[in-house]
Amino acid sequence: MTQGVLVVNKEPGMTSFGVIARLRHIFEQKKIGHTGTLDPDAEGVLLVCLGRATHLVDHLSTGTKAYEAVLLLGRKTDTQDTSGEILSEKPVTATEEEVREAVLSFEGPQLQLPPMYSALKVGGKKLVNLARRGIEVERKPREVTFSDIELLDIALPRVRFRVTCTRGAYIRTLCEDIGEKLGCGGCMEHLVRIRVGEFGLQSARTLDEIAALHDAGTPEASYIWPIDYFYRMYPAFLVSGETEITARHGGRFYKKEAKVYAEEPYSDAAETETAEEVREMADLGGDHARDPQEAFKIRLYGENGGFIGVFYKEKGFYRQFQMYV
C-alpha cells in the first residue's frame, strides 16, 4: 500500500470525491482521503493522504489556505457563484476606490455564515443535499480570519483578488458579502486555490501527471511526501531490539531506551546541537512544539530508519500518540 501525501493540482470540472476515485484507480487502493473540499468549478491545490497518512487529514486541514478569486459584482445567485440560479441583478455604481475599500474592509477576523451549498453537515446531513431539495436550515456564524488581501485587478463589474484565510472560510461567501456591502450584490466567477499550508501550485501535479509518474515506475519519494515530514517539528529518536518490537506493537518503553536519531532527515540537530541538548528539548517541551499542548512529543524510528510513529513522554516512559506501522 502506498503511504504519504500527494499535492494535487485539481482541474476544473471535477469534484474532490472524483479526484479520490481517480487516485484509487491509479494506486489500486481504497484508503485515500483529502484535506479540504474544492468546488467542482474551482481548481488548484488539494492535499490527498494515502494509506496510513489518512491519520494526517485533520492535522493538515487546520492550516491556512490562499486563493485567487474573481468576484462578479451586480449578480446574486443561490450558490454564491456563477453556476447557480440568478436571484437578483443590479447595476454596479460603485467606483474603483469604493470597491477597493469594501474588499480590504474584510481583512481580519470575521463572523461568516456558512452557505447552504456546502459540504458542511448540520444534524448529520450535508447542507448541499438539503439545498438541492429546496430546504434551508439554520446555521450558526463561524469566526474566520482573512489576511493578506491583495487586489490584483479591477475591471468592473469584475474584481480579481488574492486572499489567505483560516480553516472553514468560504470565498464564495466572501464574494457575496462584498457585493452586499457595495449594495449591488456579488458572486464568485472563478477560484484557484494557490496554497495549502506550505504547499503551493508550483509543487502540485495534475492527475494525469501523477498517473504518468506511477505508470512509469518513478520512485514514489520523488512525488509523494512521507508521513514523518509532517511531524518534523518534533525531535527524532531511535529504538532497536526488544524496545523496537515493543514500540511497533504500541507498547510503552522507558525514556532511556530511546537514543537521539542523529541521521534523521528533517533537522540539523546533529550539526547544531548535542544529543543531550536534543533530549533536553524533548523532555522540556522545547521550541520544537508549536504550542504547549504539543510539548513532549517525539518522532520515533526503528533501527533501519523506518518511521514508527509519534510518541509522547509521560513520567519516565514514552507512550504511543499516533502509530504509522
If you write DSSP's letter for every residue of 106-125 in order, what string do you get?
T-EEEEEPPPSSSS-EETTE
Q: How far apart are CA 152 and CA 59, in angstroms?
A: 31
Inter-CA distances, 53 with 20, 31, 88, 119, 162, Å:
14, 9, 45, 22, 30
Inter-CA distances, 105 with 66, 96, 212, 308, Å:
18, 14, 45, 47
User: 120: which 3 cell numbers?
Assistant: 458542511
Catalytic residue among 39, 81, 177, 228: 39
The residue behind cell 457585493 is 179
Q: Where do the H-state alpha helices sit in the chain? A: 16-27, 57-61, 96-104, 127-132, 171-182, 207-215, 241-248, 269-272, 275-284
Q: Within a 13 Å sphere around the CA of 12, how many CA atoms are in the beta-carbon half?
A: 7
Residues 6+ apart with CB under 8 A from 257: 239, 243
Q: Does 58 qualify as catalytic in the annotation?
A: no
Q: What is the DSSP letter of 2?
A: -
Q: Is the dihedral of CA 86, 88, 92, 98 positive or negative?
A: negative
- CB 145 within 8 Å of CB 139: no
Please identify every residue annotated as catalytic: 39
